[in-house]
Structure 1
Amino acid sequence: MKLGTVLSTLTSSKLRIVLVGLLLVGGAVGGAFALGILGIPSVAAVDNTFGDVTNETTVVETDLVVSNPNPVGIGLDGVSVNYTVSMNAVEMAQGGREGVRVGTGNSTIDLETDLQNDAIPAWWVSHVRNDERTTVSIDATVTSDRIGRSVDFTREREIETDLLSAFNSDETRPVNADSALTDDPILYVNETRGQWGSVSESETPIDMEFTVYNPNIEPYAITEIGYDVTMNDVEMGGGATDEEYVIQSRSLETIGLTAALENERLDEWWVTHLDEEVNGHQVSDLRIEFYAVIELPSGTEVTVPLDELTYEETIETDIFGEGDDVRDGGSGSDGDSDGSDSETDSGNTSDDENTTDDGSTDGETDDGSDGSTDGSTNETDDDENTTDGENESDDDDDGVLPV
């Protein structure tokens, strides 16, 4: 027999033995999984933070903790992990990895994925339509192709804001023309009201009402009220009324105005909202400024900045629960912010909120408030102290979710 034939026979035999051995080992491992002798890897925790932000994308950095309950590690044999981040069912980011090696116990897998900033307007619309509430959902799955089984993990976090309630006020505020043609104040604003209008994909309207009192013996006409809305100094919208209102002598008149935020500008605002150097991480200033064009009894029109009506509110979010400093970092100038968050992990949520209301102001004289001449009014300031009683641990029960 030739030497080459002998070597070929021996090599083929050894190769067959190795292949058979591998098949037996693989079958034994697969059978052990199937019989429950070995456990299926599961997801013990998913922690997300925001990374670098550009005008187009926002990096979501993910630490995904995979728990392997087996006494041996699992190699690159078809184990994959996938996760999705959604806000009010709007998919914001999706990522994963195949061929994952996990040791015994808990192993942390670092992942990065891009959130497309042009998804922010769709989320914003859902947030406003849902009474300024957002459910942040993080869904993760570990799959073993070898045995065709997977284990799911879900975490949900509730985000709430309150951008308009502080605009609702019974405080009496003077309107001064600062003109030699008339005495100040020429009008009083005794009441302001605001609520979200019918939100569309393109704009977010704010329906506003102003109760105006004329203390003069002659009627005054308001031919135009204009507004400008900014969020972190990003121009969000501006416009003016096209209806004239005549306020008779010693009379009240309610003036309506709709201020619209242009949703296409929200992705530009989003970049500033995450920028630590602007106002702090996930902190924004909402500002609405007004002006009025008033026709005096002489027929002269004057443009009056309504500085006393300028509305400012702070928007604070903590979308991934990155820290209490985001929620408690500050409050708005003319009202307390309400960026309260509550987190649900495995169905456990604890929010203990204590709110105290206490406030009063002395009104103007002859301002028409409450239909009287002393003009006394009561103003309520909401000083809200929120405590999130969240005691959360990713290592509960050794960090292993039951399979």
Structure 2
Amino acid sequence: MNRTRAVVLVFVVLAAIGGVAVLTVDRPSVAGTESRFSGVNDSTTLVTTELRVTNPNPIPIELGNTTVTHSIRMNGIEMGTGSRDDIRAAPGTSTVNFTTAIDNRNIPTWWASHVERGERTRVVTGAAVDVPVFGTARVSENRTLTTDITGALNTSEPRPINASLPFVDDPVLVVERTSATWGNVTRARTPLDIALRVRNPTEIPIPVARIDYTLTMNGITVGNGTTGERTVLSPGSEQTITARAAIRNDELDDWWVSHIERDQRTDLGVSLTAVLELPGNRTVELPLDDLGTNTTIDTDVFDTGNGSDGSTSSIRLTR
């Protein structure tokens, strides 16, 4: 940031010489900011920001009528703003603390934008210090958050599924591989398509009537329902069955609270149940939870070093 020089004329009547003294004061500058989450409830997430102000003068400067404003934007969405009036800049570099409130109702809109952009979010934090006489100093920081949630759900490891049915040898199905992709996200829903490549190793047809699903984030149900069309797997055959699940975005503000409370950590679970049709108009529910369709999301939105090592799916920060 370029520093401009402001000249403040302080007229001091010197008894000895009756002269006038001239004092030159350099303009204070903004050295940077550091933000971190400091609290959360059902409606609001608090962010505490330390603004570093550098005063190059040997004396403190009382910045009366000074206004400091701060904003947080994610993919261009204004998540929250904060401000503080009247600050004092000691010689050298000092910090000014203030709080910005994020409205949790903005979380579903941000989430939709994150998925739409290929699980990428541009986080921009900006501060402006408006000082009478000196003018306005500004500083901003940009980071890119990336996740790979669907990638963490993909696997090519064959997994046998047992049914423990009479007169039928286990496993009744073998899931050869699983892949997940996002569908066309809207403000209300985030579709998640999970394709299961399934083989029937038995000598009898296996009719799959439907797939039931439940999506959870930190134990909070964010989506559930029934999906898929009736499919009959012939003996020895292999087919792809698609489970078209969806996250209800209006549940995500509740998830966000749990995410912040757990130090920006989320356990995402995808529970699938295949419903098999049997003779005599009977059905059997075959849990597919052994598919391992679970992952952990760790975030570090403000680059404070809170991310957890070894997570299946993580958010990475780059400047």
Pairing partner for 2:255 from 255, 258, 269: 269
SS, match of residue 51 in structure 2? strand
Q: Which residue of 2 aligns with 1:202?
A: 188
Please show how residues 23-172 of structure 1 align to structure 2 within 5 Å. Answer: 28=9, 38-147=25-134, 149-172=135-158
| Amino acid in structure 2 at the alignment position of 1:261 | I
Contact 2:227 2:245 in 1 (8 A): no
Corresponding residue for residue 328 of structure 1: 308
Work out whether residues 299 and 314 of structure 2, in 8 Å CA contact, stay in contact via their aligned partners in 1.
no
1:215 aligns with 2:201: yes
**Which residue number corresponds to residue 186 of structure 1?**
172
Deviation, structure 1 residue 242: 4.9
> Root-mean-square deviation (CA), in Å?
2.0
Alpha-carbon distance in structure 1 between the residues aligned to 2:167 and 2:65: 83
TM alignment of 1:219-298, pairs within 5 A: 219-276=205-262, 281-296=263-278
TM-score (norm 2): 0.87
Give the number of the structure whose alpha-carbon radius of gyration is greater.
1
SS, match of residue 77 in structure 1? strand
Does structure 2 retain, via aligned residues, the 8 Å contact 1:41–1:142? no
| Per-residue deviation, 1:80 | 2.1
Q: Deviations over 1:297-319 (max 9, x none)?
A: 66542111113224110100011
Give the letter for the 1:292 counterpart. A
CA shift for structure 1 position 104: 2.3
User: What is the CA–CA distance in structure 2 between the aligned matches of 1:62 and 1:187, rounded to whole Å?
Assistant: 54
Tell me how far apart the structure 1 counterparts of residues 167 and 255 of structure 2 sit (CA, whole Å).
42
User: Does structure 2 conserve the Cα–Cα contact (< 8 Å) formed by 1:140 and 1:153?
Assistant: yes
Please, which runs of 5 or more residues in structure 2 have no aligned partner?
A: 1-6, 11-23
Q: After superposing the two structures, state which structure 1 stretch, 193-202 or 63-72, moved more.
A: 63-72
User: By how many angstroms is 1:218 displaced?
Assistant: 2.9
Q: 1:311 aligns with which of 273, 279, 293?
A: 293
Q: Secondary structure at the match of 1:101?
A: strand
Q: Is the 8 A contact 1:95 1:113 kept in 2?
A: yes
Give the whole-Å Cα distance in 1 for the aligned partners of 2:98 and 2:289: 48
Does the CA-based 8 Å contact 2:160-2:173 persist in structure 1?
Answer: yes
TM-score calculated relative to the size of structure 1: 0.70
Deviation at 1:57, TM superposition (A): 0.8
**Residue-pair matches, total:** 300
Name the CA distance, whole Å, in 1 between partners of 2:309 and 2:152.
Answer: 19
Tell me the distance in 2 between the aligned counterparts of 1:125 and 1:207: 16
- Give 3-state SS (helix, strand or coil) of 1:217's partner: coil
- Please give the secondary structure, in 1, of the residue aligned with 2:314: coil
Q: Tell me the amino acid that sits aligned with residue 286 of structure 2.
A: V
* Aligned mates of 1:267, 1:72 — CA distance in 2: 47
Measure the CA separation in 2 of the matches of 1:125 and 1:307.
Answer: 27
Q: Which amino acid aligns with 1:104?
A: P
**Residues in 2 aligned to 1:55 and 1:102: alpha-carbon distance in whole angstroms:** 36
SS state of the match for residue 75, structure 1?
strand
The separation in 2 between residues aligned to 1:157 and 1:167, in whole angstroms, is: 26
Post-superposition Cα deviations, 1:274-312, rounded to whole Å, max 9, x if no partner, equal 114xxxx11110011110111236654211111322411
Q: Which amino acid aligns with 1:114?
A: A
- Rounded Cα–Cα distance in structure 2 between residues aligned with 1:179 and 1:103: 78
Q: Conserved in 2, the CA contact under 8 Å of 1:79 and 1:101?
A: no
Answer with 263-272 or 174-183: which moved more.
Answer: 174-183
Task: Identify which of 141, 152, 160 aligns with 1:174.
Answer: 160
Q: Which amino acid aligns with 2:314?
A: D
3-state SS of the aligned residue for 1:169? coil
Q: Secondary structure at the match of 1:327?
A: coil
The structure carrying a bigger strand percent of its residues is: 2
Q: Secondary structure at the match of 2:105?
A: helix
SS in structure 1 at match of 2:35: strand
Q: Which has the higher helix share?
A: 1
Q: d(CA) in 1 for partners of 2:293 and 2:115?
A: 19
Alignment gaps of 5+ in structure 1: 1-25, 30-36, 345-403
| C-alpha distance in 2 between matches for 1:27 and 1:175 | 81
Distance (whole Å) between structure 2 residues aligned to residue 216 and residue 242 of structure 1: 22
